[in-house]
Amino acid sequence: MERHAAFRIMKKTLFCLLSLVLSHAPLLAGDWISMFNGKDLSGWKSNEEAEKKSGVFTVKDGELVVNGGRAHLFYVGADGKASFRNFEFKAKVKTTPGSNSGIYLHTEYQDLNWPSKGYECQVNATHTDRKKTGGLYAVADVMDQAPNKDNEWCDYTIKVDGRRIVITIDGKVTTDWTQPEDWDPAKTLNNMPGRKLGEGTIAIQGHDPKSVIHFKDLYIKALP
């Protein structure tokens, strides 16, 4: 009986030690990180106050709701320093009639205006802008015909691997674009010199007062 008791104590001790080690282990490539807890905006930083707006980004019924004009919500993570180079991102997105938004990658926080760093992945089913959901804005656009429908959730994924960016909507590839080695956005794109790969975070766009967009189940994982 004493041997069994000692074995149980040793087993419990080892389990506790293993749990402690794992809880403090750094996130490695391949670990999915939950970006949104469905309760509040922990891990995110909004520039809406700098834009003299409030309430553009709210949480309701487990969803991130974007509504109220131009503003951007940057993922900063628990330590405020979130940054990714190669990664895979996934989320569920729901547009509403006439709405427009975007998901920025390799960007960084800024107080005002549209993010100047990184690429924008378009979110737009029926807004008047001809550039539709699933395109890499002004670089590799999906024109006129959106792959998603308003008021319906779609699965939106973005993968960056080296110089290649792949966007899929509901499992269908809408953009597969590789940044040329000699890419110079200052010459190629008007007023968008920062549209290039490097390293940075994700940002959600509030576009205009009439645009209402819903997001949920946001995840990201680093790739080697």
Q: Does any domain span residue 10?
A: no
Q: What is the pLDDT of residue 190?
A: 84
Domain of residue 171, residue span = 30-222
| pTM listed for this prediction | 0.87
Q: What is the pLDDT of residue 24?
A: 39
Q: Does any domain span residue 218?
A: yes
Q: Does any domain span residue 53?
A: yes
Q: What is the pLDDT of residue 23?
A: 36
Domain count, the chain: 1
pLDDT tens, residue by residue, 25-74: 444 567 999 999 999 999 999 999 998 888 999 999 999 999 988 999 99
Q: Does any domain span residue 111?
A: yes
Q: Does any domain span residue 207?
A: yes
Q: Does any domain span residue 125?
A: yes
3-state SS string for the chain: CHHHHHHHHHHHHHHHHHHHHHHCCCCCCCCCEECCCCCCCCCEEECCCCCCCCCCEEEECCEEEEECCCEEEEECCCCCCCCECCEEEEEEEEECCCCCEEEEEEECCCCCCCCCCCEEEEECCCCCCCEEEEEECCCEEEECCCCCCCCCCEEEEEEEECCEEEEEECCEEEEEEECCCCCCHHHHCCCCCCCCCCCEEEEEEECCCCCEEEEEEEEEEECC
Q: Which residues of the chain have pLDDT under 50?
A: 1, 6-7, 9, 11, 13-27
Output the domain CATH number for residue 45: 2.60.120.560
Q: What is the pLDDT of residue 215?
A: 98
